[in-house]
Amino acid sequence: MHEEIIHTDNTPKEKQNYVMLKLGRTPAYGWPAFKQVAKRAVSGELLVGLWITLKEMVKTLFMGGKHTTMYPFEKMPIAPRYRAIHNMLRLLESGHYRCIGCGLCEKICISNCIAMETRYDENQRKEVSEYTINFGRCIYCGYCAEVCPELAIVHGGRYETASEQRASFSLFDDMLTPIDMLKQQQEFAGFGSVTPNADAAIKKTPLAY
Partner 1 sequence: MGDMMNDNKITLKIDGKTCQAQEGEYILNVARANGIFIPAICYLTRCSPTLACRICLVEADGKRVYSCNTKAKDGMEVTVSNQEILEERRAIMEVYDVNHPLQCGVCDQSGSCELQNYTLELGVDSQSYTIADTARETANWSSVLHYDPALCIVCERCVTVCKDMMGDNALGTTPRGGSELNKELKDSMPKDAYAMWNKLQKSVIAPSNDTGSTNCSDCGECIAVCPTGALVSRDFEYTSNAWELKRTPATCAHCSSGCQIYYETKPTSISDRSEKIYRVTNEWNYVSLCGAGRFGYDFENRTAVKNEEAFGNAIEAFKAAKAIRFNSVITNEEALMLQTLKEELGVKLINPDAKAFQEFLNSYSAASGKTLWNGDYKEMMKNSDFIISVGSALRHDNPNVRYVFNNIQKMNKGAGLYFHPVGDSLIAGLGKNVACIEHKVNREEAVLYWILDRFANKDKLPAEISEYLASFHTKTAKTISETVMEDVKETVVDDESGESKEVVKKIPKTIQKEIEVDSSALLEAFDAPADFEDLVEKFLAKKESFALVVGEDMYFHPQADNLAKLVALIENTTEFKVSIVPPKTNSLGVALICDLDDDASGYTIGYNEAGDFRLSALGDGDLDMPALNQQEGTLTNMHKKVVPTNAALSYGGYELNDIMNALLLGKRLTIDWTKELPSKKGFQAVEFDSLPNRYTNDGVEHRGYMLESQKTKITVSMPDKMTANDMSGDIAYRCNPQRQFNEFTAKAHQIFEPFALYVSPAKAETLGKKAAFDINGKEFVLDVVIDEKMSGEIVKLPDFKHSSEIYAFFGKNRFKPITLRKV
The binding site for partner 1 (CB under 8 A) comprises 100-104, 106-107, 115-120, 124-127, 130, 132, 149-150
Nearer to partner 1, 106 or 174 (CB): 106
Cα(161)–Cα(25) distance, integer angstroms:
59
Shortest distance, position 121 Cβ to partner 1, whole Å: 8
Cα(180)–Cα(87) distance, integer angstroms:
15
Nearer to partner 1, 147 or 182 (CB): 147
Shortest distance, position 106 Cβ to partner 1, whole Å: 7
Shortest distance, position 116 Cβ to partner 1, whole Å: 7
What is the SS3 string spanning the chain? Answer: CHHHHHCCCCCCCCCCCCCCCCCCCCCCCHHHHHHHHHHHHHCCHHHHHHHHHHHHHHHHHHCCCCCCCCCCCCCCCCCCCCCCEEEECECCCCCCECCCCCCHHHHHCCCCCEEEEEEECCCCCEEEEEEEECCCCCCCCCHHHHHCCCCCEEEEEECCCCCCCHHHHCEHHHHECCHHHHHHCCCCCCCCCCCCCHHHHCCCCCCCC
| Cβ 97 vs Cβ 176: under 8 Å | yes
Nearer to partner 1, 26 or 123 (CB): 123
Nearer to partner 1, 117 or 160 (CB): 117
Strands 85-88 and 153-158: antiparallel
Nearer to partner 1, 73 or 120 (CB): 120
Shortest distance, position 104 Cβ to partner 1, whole Å: 8
Shortest distance, position 65 Cβ to partner 1, whole Å: 52
Shortest distance, position 59 Cβ to partner 1, whole Å: 56
Q: State the amino acid at position 118 in one-letter form.
A: T
Nearer to partner 1, 45 or 130 (CB): 130
